[in-house]
A and B are shown apart, each in its own frame.
Chain A
Amino acid sequence: MPAAPVTSTLDNGLRVVVAPDHLVPAVAVEVWYDVGSRHEEPGRTGFAHLFEHLMFQGSRNVDGTGHFAAIQSVGGTLNGTTSFDRTNYFETVPTRAFELALWLEADRMGTLLDALDQPNLDNQRDVVKNERRQRYDNQPYGTAWEQLFTILFPVGHPYHHLPIGSMEHLDAASLDDAHRFFLTHYSPHNAVLSLAGDLSVEEGVEAAKRAFGGITGNPEPPAAPDGSIGPRDGTEVLSSDEVVPAASRYQTWRVPPDGHADHDALVVAFEVLAGGGASRLVRRAVRTEELAEAVSGGTFEMVGGVDVATLVARVRSGRDLDELGVVVDEEVARLAAEPPTDDEVVRAGERLRRDRLDTRATLMGRADDHARGVALFDDATWGDHAGDRLRAVTPERVSAAAATWLGPDHRAILDYRNVA
């Protein structure tokens, strides 16, 4: 078991979490900003993600591709991602270069606007539009979640749209939007710096002070919008006319977010239903009745007052989507009606424990996990303690949570029936 992470706060509000681990001579660095697509203004969907791209276009002391070039030149890896709830930037570098990674992160946190101009924005807008084409518009089922979230959440809800946003809104994004977005959200008060690897807590904190100490920023970043909302009232079914290789059903429910006791029970419920080869749906729908080519399910791990649970089932060729749908519905209903066996819950616990071991088997996995814990739960060990919370889930709690949250009348469903 690796050493526990230690969290402190700099004078400028930046929270710093350091987890020493000397197994490999490297340090993982993550900066987590508490801004994601749920914070976007009306008419500006996709902006948080477009802005993430702009963060790689240089800052006062770093030229256009200088951030990438600097990390690559020391043999490091890097990237950034934008989700519903947050934007994160990360590097894994040899120990000798971890201060360089901090310096690069600090330069853009402090001085991005010095380098941001219209040609950068226009170029990255084109890149992001091609990202959207590549990952969503030009893939079978690529827009499934986007379509589902428009009916799962009402207009105006922070999760009504996906982080990728719409082409129209990407076109509308202006340099002025980018300036305001940066000044509003990209502040040390709104960020967590997480370090994991070959350094001591003192080294990490001192280096953070040197790099980030001079940065000020919006001392009162806006609170995240409150997305609290109960289960959907009534089920809505969308039917896609997209031509697809196999009929499929994507179904979703609104469920409580991570941190709620029922969320833990639902995580176990989805292991029982669709976690691996011995789960109920794989056994019955894939292996025994051979109705499905694949079944998967789980939660998105969103935290803005609500999370999304999903089950996706794709039919075997020659089989019927409605017949598969009945089997899926029966298994969800059965779990809600009677508790799973002790053995099922034990196996689910072992699978989830294994997931934790995978997460913390890499420095980046740990840095990200600690950043999430500090940013969302004010506790760097939130993830490390997930196993305790999940092990406390009883079979009765699993069925009670399924009965409360996974009802047949609370769903948003998207069917694909137009098979090539």
Chain B
Amino acid sequence: MNTSTTRSPAVPDRPDNTTAPRPVVSAPEPWALPAVRSETAASGLTVHSLDLPDRELVAVTVLLDAPVTTEPAELAGVGTITARALDEGTAHHDGDTFAAALDRIGADWSPSASFGGVRVTVTMPLENLAAGLDLVAEALLTPTFPDRDVARLVGQRRDRLVQQLATPGGKASIALRAVAVAPDHRAHLPSGGTDATMAALTRDDVVAHHADVLLTGPVDVVVAGNLSHVDVVDLVDRHLGDLGPTSRAATAADPLRMVPGPRIVVVDHPGAVQTELRVVRPGPDTHARDRAATRLVAHVLGGPLTSRLDAVLREEKGYTYGVRSSLQSFRRGGLFMLASGSFDTPTTGEALALVREHVDALAGDGPTPDEVAGAADYLAGVIPLSLETPRALASTVAGNLGDDLPPEHTTVHLAALRSALTGDVVRAARRHLSTDDVVVVAVGDAAEIEPDLVALDWGEVVRHEP
């Protein structure tokens, strides 16, 4: 081992390097989501296919109309456990051999439950599409939900909640919902449920949720990949057709209801070297006419590095590794995360004061035309770049469907981002940027930060223990 020479003894100064002139970049081309072909199969399934030439992987997402709003409050998380238990035993496999069967065809398996419904996504090499659909059909139609495996999944979920609550970010996310969302709305609780709801959950609840909710409503199947030689509707119908018939109407959304501030909620994390902050108020959902304009506002306020908040809190002050603003949607109704980030403990109060000052300033004057153009160029460019893989495209289409939007809504949203006028964005900033009714969650060393938070005089300061 030799670590004695990690650099040359004498490094010459560099001669004056010439650099080429800065290249001029041409104007962007319009963009559209790859065409989505939506057809109703004989069984009643709605099949959405995206033909993506030359892709090696194919993604299938089955979206069942079983949103978390269908879960009784006392059984919150039953959808998540049901989705996760689908592959723990079927008519032809136990959990171990099902996992081995997925491995043999190079497939991954990801179940989830959200406000858009229960989703199972499987991706695999194209040549294994039919084999993958067989496994999807088996899991969705013939799960055995072994008692012991359901109990284990519940136990693991409870353990992971403990893990989540031990991280500042996880604690902040759970606390935020608990203190900012109305207690009678499902979003008040985590999508995966709480320790109490998990403790109450039985195998019978899972069996009933599967039979009464997952299998009774409308089903969308999204397939994305190199499908030029595949009769997608026929293939999907042959494998999953038994999911097609419905015995009830589609579920209705329950619009998000929030508890307005202003107030600051402190979650004690003794000894924390940083404070995890969230600043939130209601925001436009994906249906809102000013959704695109408000997304541009969020980018100007808290997009990466060049945003107003990062410019001062990171690049000028060095208080944080980074702060972000975002919009979150709950099928109907949404929230505007004005700021989210971790701040050096001694700077917590000042950081929040600066967030407030910059939100108010942006609400007052609105973004400049240059900021609007920059945000539009950025978002209209990066959204297509994020949709490179079959899986990302299938997920985006399923997300649109889960929000009751047309599958190709992303194209419309992108055009709205591109064509937003500064006046629209200024109005959106005035409408959605307020600091008078925000809820602030601060996960940190309460004894250290509370005096500074009280001194902000920004609504009552209360403690919360998630």
Binding site for B on A (CB under 8 A): 1-2, 23-26, 39-41, 56, 60-61, 64-65, 68-69, 72-77, 92-94, 96-97, 99-100, 102-103, 106-107, 110-111, 113, 122-127, 129-131, 133-135, 137-140, 156-158, 180, 183-185, 210-211, 213-218, 220-223, 225-229, 244-246, 276-278, 282-283, 286-287, 290, 293-294, 305, 314, 316-317, 343, 346-347, 350-351, 353-354, 357-358, 360-363, 420
Contact = CB atoms under 8 A, between A and B. Distances in A.
Nearest to A134: B342
Nearest to B125: A357
Interface residues of B, number: 88
27 contacts: A1-B56, A24-B385, A40-B6, A60-B19, A65-B311, A74-B28, A75-B28, A75-B380, A75-B385, A99-B23, A123-B316, A126-B319, A127-B318, A133-B274, A139-B168, A183-B13, A210-B20, A216-B14, A220-B8, A245-B163, A245-B165, A246-B162, A246-B163, A316-B155, A354-B125, A361-B56, A361-B388
A218 B29 CA distance: 41
Contacts of B321: 127, 130-131, 134-135
B22 interface: yes
A293 B159 contact: yes
Contacts of A94: 28-29, 381, 385
B389 A100 contact: no
B96 interface: yes
A69 B19 contact: no
Contacts of A225: 1-3, 5-6
For the complex of A and B, the 7 pairs showing the least CB-CB separation, nearest first, are A75-B381, A126-B318, A277-B99, A110-B17, A278-B99, A214-B18, A354-B106
A357 B125 CA distance: 8
Contact of B315 (A64, A221, A226): A64
Contacts of B28: 74-75, 94, 96
B342 A92 contact: no
Given A244-B166, A316-B159, A317-B162, A184 B8 contact: yes
Contacts of B17: 110-111, 214-216
A325 B32 CA distance: 53
Contacts of A223: 5
A217 B224 CA distance: 47
A278 B103 contact: yes
B159 to A, nearest CB: 4
Contacts of B15: 216
B370 to A, nearest CB: 10
A100 B13 contact: no
A351 B304 CA distance: 35
A184 B7 contact: yes
B7 A222 contact: yes
A218 B12 CA distance: 7
Contacts of A111: 17, 19
Contacts of B57: 357-358, 361
Contact of B6 (A39, A102, A125, A157): A39
B221 to A, nearest CB: 21
A420 B166 contact: yes
B26 to A, nearest CB: 5
Nearest to B29: A25
Given A73-B374, A130-B321, A100 B25 contact: yes
A358 to B, nearest CB: 8
A26 B385 contact: yes
B344 A133 contact: yes
Contacts of A229: 1
Contacts of B156: 286, 293-294, 316
A103 B103 contact: no
A241 B216 CA distance: 52
Contacts of A244: 166
Contacts, number: 262
Contacts of A97: 25
Interface in B84-137: 87, 95-100, 102-108, 124-125
Nearest to A57: B315
A131 B323 CA distance: 12
B303 to A, nearest CB: 8
B103 A276 contact: yes
B320 interface: yes
A39 B12 CA distance: 19
B6 A41 contact: yes
Q: Most chain-A Cβ atoms within 10 A of its Cβ — which of B149, B319, B321?
A: B321
Given A73-B374, A126-B319, 5 more contacts: A72-B303, A72-B377, A183-B12, A184-B8, A346-B104
Interface in B143-187: 149, 152, 155-156, 158-160, 162-163, 165-168
Contacts of B166: 140, 244-245, 420
Interface in B298-331: 303-306, 311, 314-321
Contact of A123 (B26, B155, B318, B390): B318
A234 to B, nearest CB: 18
A127 B305 contact: no
A24 B393 CA distance: 13
A114 B416 CA distance: 41
A170 B291 CA distance: 43
A15 B52 CA distance: 33
Contact of B314 (A127, A216, A220): A127
B228 to A, nearest CB: 14
B225 to A, nearest CB: 11
Contacts of A287: 95-96, 149, 152
A46 to B, nearest CB: 14
A218 B8 contact: yes
Contacts of B8: 184, 218, 220-222
B11 A184 contact: yes
Nearest to A213: B20
A72 B306 contact: yes
Nearest to A135: B321
A351 B103 contact: yes
A218 to B, nearest CB: 6
B361 interface: no
Given A72-B374, A72-B378, A277 B96 contact: yes
Given A73-B378, A127-B318, A184-B8, A278 B23 contact: no
A41 B98 CA distance: 51
Given A68-B304, A77-B385, A130-B319, A23 B55 contact: yes
A94 B321 CA distance: 28
B273 interface: yes
A287 B96 CA distance: 9
Given A158-B3, A283-B96, A77 B382 contact: yes
